Amino acid sequence: MSLQTFAQLIEKLDATNKTNQKVAALAHYFEQASDEDKLWTIAILSHRRPPRPVNTTLLREYAAELANIPLWLFEDSYHIVGDLAETIALVIPDEKQQTSKTLSTFLEEIIELKAQDDEAKKSYLQHNWKSLDYHARFVFTKLLTGSFRIGLSQKLMTRALSKTTGVDEDELAYRLMGDWSPTNTTFQELVFEENKEANLSKPYPFYLAYAIEGEASELGDVSKWSVEHKWDGIRGQVICRSGEIYVWSRGEELVTDKYPEFENFKDSLPDGTVLDGEILPFIDGEIGLFNDLQTRIGRKNVSKSILQKVPVIFKAYDVLEFEGMDIRSKIFEERRAILSSVIESSKSDALHISDTMQFDSWEEVAHERDLSREKRSEGLMLKRKDAIYQVGRKKGDWWKWKVDPLTIDAVLTYAMRGHGRRSNLFTDYTFGLWNENEKGEKELVTFAKAYSGLTDKEFNQVDSIIKKTTLERFGPVRSVEPQLVFEIAFEGIALSSRHKSGVAVRFPRIHRWRYDKKIKEANSLDDLKQLIV
Amino acid sequence: MSKNQLLVFNSKGIYCKQANIYIDPWKPVNKAIITHGHADHSRYGHKHYLTHHKNVPIIKHRLGDISVEGVEWNQPFTINGVTFSLHPAGHIIGSSQVRVEYKGEVWVFTGDYKTEDDGLCTPYEVVKCHTFITECTFGLPAFKWKPQQQVFEEINTWWKENQSEGKTSVIFGYSLGKAQRLLKHLDTSIGKIYTHGAVENMTEVVRPLVDLPPTELITRETKKEELLGNMVVAPPSTHGSPWIKKMVPYVTATSSGWMAFRGARRRRAIDRGFVLSDHCDWGGLLASIKATEAERVICTHGYTDIFSKYLREIGYDASIENTDYEGEREEVTPTAETVS
Ligand SMILES: [Zn+2]
């Protein structure tokens, strides 16, 4: 089956928003595809792409050249489309040739491509772009650049695969985890066989909580619930098996090398232990901010200075495997008892426990939630004491109850076109707060960007005001006459030398449009700094 | 008067001082030449309207009892020494470009236009000029339309698939323009075409001007069983309304140039997105500009900054003028049913 068939699958998955249809389309594809193509499809849909063979700068140059447009025009188009592979697929004309090469052949070629010189890469890419139609060109380029976001969770893929193979869904979810790639396993091995060696590093699927919808008190008897703070770090799993330590992040990434602090866990954890918890920055004996952690994420090499500046701890809140046994079906209270004893007898400074709390009333729980910011947490986790550890996001036993966001009134100063469906509108905004400069004049200092939180109707209205009050154009960006005030909500706030305002806020978004406020009534940078705990 | 100012953009619209007349003004004026019937080009409140005669019944339907004069394409008329004529724009039924000539200087305003013959409205005609005022709603190389025949094959195939699953197909299109283009090319051998009131009324208005298949208005008495397997053409504003619940089980689609973007196609709200526009794509814009032999190009709405920058790079004297025209709004927004 050619790449075209895989491209049609992606098109079908894109074309429907109904879960059943997505699963059916994928199951249908699995029934027809060769084992090699199936294996690669699973790999791609679980974010196991081969390493990027060509950097995106070259990719853009080659594409612009083939499309016969100047590079700046390609870049501006890319900004508006919002996705590199899609932009490339759109700007290159269809020449109506067909390819018979399969998905797995393409991927093998892509793996080999990495070692070749730039000339060879260019001719390979341009040749293939020309010989594919729009959908296949998009898919081919996606294989080179990034992960597919097709609204198809790992869970749905597993369900489709379970349908075609008859292997139980949860069992399959477990088999598909871990450190495998299509180059070191086969479809048969991965799906049907127990692989001892790969199992050594294999994590369990995370149990994920939903946000609480109504009042916490609707959860009933408070004594049935265990309460913890919701830590603001990276969800992770620490595996200690056969004298080795493996660290997985929730994104199903093996990140052991990034956290050398956890290396000594092998001396302090009994063999055959798997812990679920949060990787947190821990500076001068205190939990740091996510912002601190961000300076460590994304670095290829963890330098000595960064280890000193932003040391981390693992705050454990659950144990999934003990003495080599999968204990996820034990109830929470029993697992926590095991966890306590494991942590107590451990000698590592980097291994902490996330304390559980019991309350007599929901009012007391709410009071504890109010203390979250002081305790450097995002809110509370409510866990049923008699619940097993489930697979994936399931309602009922675990709830997150986050604190309300912080808000401030800011002035819109710059606007940029949105991406994708909003690309005809100016929907990405920059916001400023008042500050006094050296001359004692009040000016607006940029403090955050946000692009979500308004209704389509409001975006349309703001867009037309922006078009009428444009001061200057810089490519896709426009500076606008300060006129509009918005209430901006965000989760966390910290001092930051990397930001012009001296402050970094986390997850800023538009809370509402303050039609009622004049720009003079917007907040100042000092007001913002007051919010720092 | 400098010949460079045959038409100016002022706060009310595109103005010809010599003839004291506006083209597609967005504020009330005495005399207005109107390119076509979409709401952002033909607004309320002018004292006198002048437009192509096919557009007369359309704007009367939309704006009520107005003073309007209809003229034929390629029939020049002169006002205070300025010669005006209308030429087909191929955008929707009765849509025109406006040619303005004074002392040998020729300007053309396109209004909205497309270069592909849609089999419904009079096809776009190249009008040679010195200054070409063009829209550029889809003025990015990312927009390349497939021939409409191919798109309608996709739409009709989709209809058949829905029919075989026992479902009603609902396709959204603005009641003026897209709705009639859909009606014209839907394959009536598959089933019957039902319409929403807004679409039915506008279609009635243009039936004397074009050949369209029979349609049936959905009323209170229409039973949902009779809709099964058939096609419903409705304005985008009906999406998510109680009216549409009657169609259950149904599948929805929309057709617009914006559907070229994956983000737009994947919108949660709509099942399918077909790439079909009544505006020019990138190639259409460039080809028509070239064919007019204009030296100067003024871009009015759409990706004006990017498009005009590219035009300057390939040798045109290109600039931007701000207008209140909106081009093709993304379908199915709360502000639907205003423009296309
Ligand atoms: Zn129009």
Whether residue A328 lies inside any domain: the answer is yes
* A363 token code pair: 């009012």
Mean pLDDT of B243-262: 88
Between A199-208, A425-434, B45-54, B308-317, the lowest mean confidence (pLDDT) is in A199-208
Chain B residues lying within 8 Å of A63, measured CB to CB: none
CB contact under 8 A, A93 and B144: yes
| Nearest CA-CA distance, residue B7 and chain A, Å | 21
CB contact under 8 A, B305 and A475: yes
Quick one: pLDDT at residue A374?
82
How many Cβ contacts (< 8 angstroms) between chains A and B?
90
Contact between residue A493 and residue A499 where contact means Cβ atoms under 8 Å apart:
no
Residues 6+ apart with CB under 8 A from A14: A150, A151, B262, B265, B266
Quick one: pLDDT at residue A298?
66
B333, pLDDT greater than 50:
no
Between A143-147, B32-36, B325-329, the lowest mean confidence (pLDDT) is in B325-329
Contact between residue B130 and residue B107 where contact means Cβ atoms under 8 Å apart:
yes
Quick one: pLDDT at residue B339?
32
Whether residue A495 lies inside any domain: the answer is yes
Find, among B250, B255, B246, the residue nearest to B223 by Cα. B246
Whether residue A9 lies inside any domain: the answer is yes
Bond preceding residue B147 cis, omega within 30 of 0: no
The secondary element (H helix, E strand) that includes residue A291 is helix A290-294
| Nearest CA-CA distance, residue B221 and chain A, Å | 31
Identify the band that residue A433 occupies on the pLDDT scale cut at 50, 70 and 90. very high
Chain A residues lying within 8 Å of B305, measured CB to CB: 473, 475-476
Between A53-67, A201-215, A240-254, B297-311, the lowest mean confidence (pLDDT) is in A240-254
A352, pLDDT greater than 90:
yes
Whether residue A183 lies inside any domain: the answer is no
Find, among A254, A253, A237, A251, the residue nearest to A153 by Cα. A251
The more confident residue out of B77 and A94 is B77
Q: What domains lie within chain B, and their CATH numbers?
A: 3-143+278-320 (3.60.15.10), 148-274 (3.40.50.10890)
CB contact under 8 A, A76 and B306: yes
Domain's final residue, options A402, A432, A461: A402
**Which pLDDT tens digit goes with each residue over A287-316?**
888 877 877 876 667 888 888 889 999 999
**Is the same domain home to A236 and A325?**
yes
Quick one: pLDDT at residue B46?
96
Quick one: pLDDT at residue A386?
95
**A350 bridge partner residues:** none
CB contact under 8 A, A455 and B334: yes
Shortest CA distance from A12: residue in chain B: B272
**Is the same domain home to A447 and A359?**
no
CB contact under 8 A, B266 and A17: yes
Between A51-65, A128-142, A163-177, the lowest mean confidence (pLDDT) is in A163-177
Identify the band that residue A254 occupies on the pLDDT scale cut at 50, 70 and 90. confident
- A428: domain CATH number? 2.40.50.140
d(CA B325, CA B87): 20
CB contact under 8 A, B261 and A16: no
Give the sign of the dihedral formed by CA B300, CA B304, CA B305, CA B310.
negative
Quick one: pLDDT at residue B274?
93
CA end-to-end span of chain A: 59
**Is the same domain home to A393 and A412?**
no
Quick one: pLDDT at residue B3?
47
Contact between residue B337 and residue B259 where contact means Cβ atoms under 8 Å apart:
no
**Which pLDDT tens digit goes with each residue over A61-104?**
999 999 999 999 999 999 888 889 999 999 998 877 677 899 99
Find, among A322, A250, A304, A309, the residue nearest to A282 by Cα. A309
Chain A residues lying within 8 Å of B266, measured CB to CB: 14, 17, 151, 421
**Which pLDDT tens digit goes with each residue over A474-491?**
767 888 999 999 999 988
Burial class (CB within 10 angstroms; exposed 0-12, middle 13-18, buried 19+) of A385: middle
- A332: domain CATH number? 3.30.470.30
**Which pLDDT tens digit goes with each residue over B107-153?**
999 999 999 999 999 999 999 999 999 999 999 999 999 999 999 99
Q: Kindly report the pTM of this predicted structure.
A: 0.75
Chain B residues lying within 8 Å of A90, measured CB to CB: 141-144, 260
Quick one: pLDDT at residue A151?
65
CB contact under 8 A, B144 and A455: no
Q: A55 to each of A121, A122, A226, A401, A410, how far by Cα in Å? A: 11, 11, 48, 41, 38
Identify the band that residue B334 occupies on the pLDDT scale cut at 50, 70 and 90. very low
Determine the structural domain holding residue A478 and report its residue range.
406-530
**Is the same domain home to A376 and A411?**
no
| Nearest CA-CA distance, residue B105 and chain A, Å | 30
Helices (H), B64-214: 148-164, 178-185, 197-206
Quick one: pLDDT at residue B76?
97
Mean pLDDT of A383-404: 91
Quick one: pLDDT at residue A421?
60
A415, pLDDT greater than 50:
yes
B291, pLDDT greater than 50:
yes
Interfacial residues of B (vs A; Cβ cutoff 8 Å): 137, 140-144, 258, 260-268, 271-273, 303, 305-306, 309-310, 313, 322, 327, 329-330, 333-335
**Is the same domain home to A370 and A480?**
no
**A234 bridge partner residues:** A279
Whether residue A190 lies inside any domain: the answer is no
A180, pLDDT greater than 70:
yes
d(CA A505, CA A450): 11
d(CA A416, CA A421): 14
Quick one: pLDDT at residue A20?
87
**Which pLDDT tens digit goes with each residue over A269-291?**
999 999 999 999 998 888 888 87
**Is the same domain home to A267 and A385?**
yes
Of B264, B272, B309, the CB nearest to A420: B264
Q: A141 to each of A14, A87, A133, A147, A374, how far by Cα in Å? A: 16, 10, 12, 10, 46
**Is the same domain home to A295 and A413?**
no
Mean pLDDT of B88-106: 96
d(CA A306, CA A449): 27
Quick one: pLDDT at residue A69?
96
**Is the same domain home to A350 and A220?**
yes
CB contact under 8 A, A14 and B265: yes
Whether residue A174 lies inside any domain: the answer is no
Quick one: pLDDT at residue A72?
95
Whether residue A168 lies inside any domain: the answer is no
Domain's final residue, options A382, A402, A422: A402
Quick one: pLDDT at residue B84?
98
Complex ipTM value:
0.91
Phi, psi for A119 (deg, rounded to 5) = -60, -45
**Is the same domain home to A380 and A414?**
no
**Which pLDDT tens digit goes with each residue over A439-474?**
888 999 999 998 888 887 888 889 888 988 888 877
- A15: domain CATH number? 1.10.3260.10
Give the sign of the dihedral formed by CA B29, CA B34, CA B38, CA B40.
negative
Contact between residue A85 and residue A145 where contact means Cβ atoms under 8 Å apart:
yes
Domains held by chain A: number:
3
Identify the band that residue B266 occupies on the pLDDT scale cut at 50, 70 and 90. low
Burial class (CB within 10 angstroms; exposed 0-12, middle 13-18, buried 19+) of A72: middle
Domain's final residue, options A402, A419, A448: A402
**Is the same domain home to A128 and A224?**
no
Give the sign of the dihedral formed by CA A264, CA A270, CA A272, CA A278.
negative
Identify the band that residue A216 occupies on the pLDDT scale cut at 50, 70 and 90. confident
Compute the mean pLDDT over every residue in chain A, rounded to the nearest whole number.
88
CB contact under 8 A, A419 and B143: no
Of A17, A421, A475, the CB nearest to B261: A421
Find, among B136, B90, B179, B44, the residue nearest to B327 by Cα. B136
| Nearest CA-CA distance, residue B286 and chain A, Å | 13
**Is the same domain home to A468 and A431?**
yes
**Is the same domain home to A364 and A437?**
no
d(CA B112, CA B41): 9
